[in-house]
Structures are given as structure tokens and as C-alpha cells.
Structure 1
């Protein structure tokens, strides 16, 4: 059946509503320097297109808009596309118009995820502990990114970070809880400090990343938590790390029930070995710099794919879980490990 919103404006009331909405879009675009289509997506999320009465946004979400405003919504979409540059008319990128936060985004897997999100159309805010690495990462990612110093283990820090994101972009659509640390200590040698730090960043930090975001995400918003194959296959000496990542998996199983009806989806993405600077640095410290290339090859030979992962591959998987292509996927742990945890 054809939707009521398929009609073009016909009444004076509809034409007036169309003109009013489009005028607001053009002013917002001029103020922000953002494409009109992108502004439109943000304003729909914030319910700011219509002043008074039922909005096109509420029609889309609840179906209670009047026919004239419904037609106005369709007309605005057509008008915006007609007045946009050709490259703005096709919203073909999976994350086009979305605003995403990636914690621990200044290096490694987080940086790869942020780069992939921008390539797929999103505006990305990365967080990390120091301004210098953030500035370098933003320069690498490009103008659709920005950085905020924030400590995931401090709830007040994360709440303030999200408020800054809203101030900059007007809305939030996707969160990637990537910040994490490794820990290697066999049973019998684990210290209280190691336990507190590992679980503080890898478990409490995930909680403090996710919890303040829930109230800001719209229906269709997404959360991706970066786990690890260590959640099910922790090697010797990695009990702390594996335990913290297993805790994250348990979080998700409960949280998807807590947020039932919100329209928000959350999943765990668990990488295996990934070729990052931190991995190469750790191998260099353990075996010497000259031995790193051979060590990387050896690690790959044990994988069913014959190699280890790349940060951008983690980014592609995170982008999938943050896009409409995964609209019926929530609560899963997706292993992006070349099959290593499955054999």
C-alpha cells in the first residue's frame, strides 16, 4: 500500500509547512557549514523541524502526524535533494549523517574504527587520555573527526564528554566502547593494582561509556563494545584480561533486556590478534625489534586465514554493527578473528 507521505504538497497549509521547514534547514546549514541533508538528519533526531503540532519526526516514529505535515515531510526531502549538490543527493554511505563516539580512538583498533566510520559517512568524535595523540589521530582521520580528552574510568568525565558531543553535533547515533588495556600476570603473581586497573578500564570503563549514552541515543542508535577472543580462550597468564572481557559479554546479555523497547541495539565485537603498533611494540620488547616481522608471520600461520587482522577490518565489522544492515542483530558477540576462536 502506498504511504500517505508519498504525495506532494497540495494544500496551502502543506505548502506553508514545507516552506517553514526548508527555511529552517537552510539557516541551520549556513550556520554549521554542514550539507543540508546532513543537517536534516540531525534535526529529525532532535525533533526540531516543526514548531508546534505533530512533527514529521513523530509521524515516522508513531504515525500520528497530520496528512498535511506528512506531505510536507516528503516535500522537504524532495526540495532538499533538488537544492543540494549532486554529491549530496545520494545518501548511499552506510553511516551517512550519523555521529559516532569511539573511545580509545587515538591509536590501534580504535583509530582503524574511526577511520572506517568516516569513510562510511559518519562524523566521529574520538576520546583518549592525552591531547597530543588525539590531535595526531584527528589529523590522520581528517576534518570529519574531532577529539576529546576523557578517562573512561571516571563517570563525570564521560558525562561531560557526551555533553560536548551534543554541543558540537546536536545528536549522537553510535558509540564504540573500544578503550582497553592488556594485562599479563599468572595466578600467584597478580597484584591488587593490576586487578583494579584491568577491570577498571576494561569493565568499569565500558559501563561508564555505555550508561550515559543510553539517554542520548535515538531509536536505531547502536553501541558496539570491543571484546576479545580472550573472553572464551584466554591464554596462560591472561586470566585478568580474559576475565574482564568475559564480564563485558555478560553485561550485554543483561543490558539488552534492560533497554528493551528503546530501539537501541548493542553488540560485542571480539577481535583476535590485530597488527597494531602496540602489538609490534610488545613483541619488540619481548623478542627484539629485528624479530618482530617474523613473530607477526608466525602468529598468522596459526590462524585459519594464514594471517592476523588489520585495524580497518575491525572498523568494517564495527561499521556493519552500527549500520542499518544489522538492524535485527543485538546482543551477539561477533568474533572478528579469522576463525581462530572457532577451531
Structure 2
């Protein structure tokens, strides 16, 4: 009997624990690290407070209608109360919340930020192509990871050439759809250094649920150093094992889908791997980037992320897989 009561208490507490768990972490809209997300969070709490007050008032009126004396119940049925509670109150309350929301989120034509950092993001199946350009117009690509400087406006140009995706970094800004044939722009900024997580927020088929990305906010000097390295081609391997890994990569057709700048590999179907070893994660924010994870992804990616467009490569021996993964992990 005691075990049964304990199980019932746990079952009742579980929903509350799940709700509380959603209020923190690297992908929580209620833990904002940028002004745009702060506006969203503030609007949420105002709406919660307003709706909570309305629920309390309605509950009180319901209790009066059910349990109060006939005189008080007759008062509730009067024309004045019905008109005020059924028409005037909802119109005034909802109009006030609507106006507050529009003002808070800056609805309408926005002002362009001075000298924003511009990044292009394309929604692929099922990963994110990230493009940085220098002042001369030269471009380099990354994947599933955005690096942004602290305190500066970042204008992200969003596009898709396949299906509708939705770009959402909850700790930094609201979400914006990516519609094939159109380009849209989202402006955000970060006030705290660190890593936050984003997600595709529009069902896009296949591996949609595992289509995430990381946003890394960095001090300006660190961002400048990283960006300088990012525009460089891949470093040549320095050990016999990594040289063997590079030879395996080029001889087994990996370059048909992936690019490694500075090598003959120039594929465009999959992510650019020029500096893959320097990214936080692989597989669209599924696995931490290290040799073991890269080897596991090469051989078992369909188990890790079912439905992604990369075939599982189980053709390598253990030593070959180690050399290949060690080479890719060295690309920083």
C-alpha cells in the first residue's frame, strides 16, 4: 500500500518536473541571453500574469453563481454585469494585451542596425549550411554552428531550396520560417558569452527532430581570431596516420559530397568539413566533436540519425576508421 501511494505521488509530480525542466538549459526561451529573446520572455510572463488574473476572476464569479445567496446570484444575471463582463472586459483586456505585445516585439518595419554582422543560413535536409563572407565578397561555409560576436547586431539571411524549415534559437530570438524560393532576415544579438542551442521549429520530414544547431557567442577579439582561421584552407596532416586518413577520404569518394578547402574534395551535397574538428558538435548538434564520435558517425550515422541522407560507411577496417576519424578531428 505504501509503495502504491509513493508511485501515485511520483506520477503526480512528474508533469510539474517536466515543466520545470523546460524552463532552463541551452534551449530555453525563458533563459534569454539576448535582448530579442528577453522581449519574448517578458511578453510571456505578462501574458501568464494577465491570463492568471482572468482565470481567478472567472473562478470567483463561478463560485458566486454556484454557492452565493440568491440576491448575489441575481446581481450577476443583471444586464450591466453581463455587458461589462461579457463584452467590455474582454475587448479592453485583449486589446491592451495585443497593443502591449506589438509594442514590446517591435512589430512593423524595423530599424536597420549599424554595421551588422551578416551570416547566411540555408536549411538543408536535415542540417544547416552556414555561410560567412569577408569584405571582398569571398565566402566560406560551416555547418550546424553559428559563431557571433558579443554585443553586435547579427543579421541572418535565411533561405531554403527544398522544404519549409524554421530557424529558432530560443535563448536569442523568436523563430522565423524559411520558405523555398524566398529569403527572409532575422536580427539577433547576444549579451552573454557561451553556447546556446537552436532547432528547426517547422516539421520538414525525415530527420526533422534531430535538426539542431549551436550558436556560440564570443568576445569580439576571439571572434575575429576564429574568423581569420575559418577563412584559411585546411591544414595539411602532420602525422603518418592522419596522412593515411586524408588519402582514405579522397580515395573513397567522400569528396563527392563534402568539401575540404585546400584538397580536391569539393562536394556540395553535405556539410563543408574544412574545419570540422574545431566545431562543437557533428550531426547537427547530436554528438560532441571528437575522434570517437566522428568514427561512430561515419559507421553508424543511420542509427544515430535515422533518415539523414548520408549512407552508413561500414567498409573501413578498424585501423582505417581510426585514421580517417583522426584526420577529420585534426581539421581545426
TM-score normalized by the length of structure 2: 0.25
Larger % of helix: which? 1
> How does the TM-score come out when normalised to structure 1?
0.24
Which structure is higher in strand share? Answer: 2
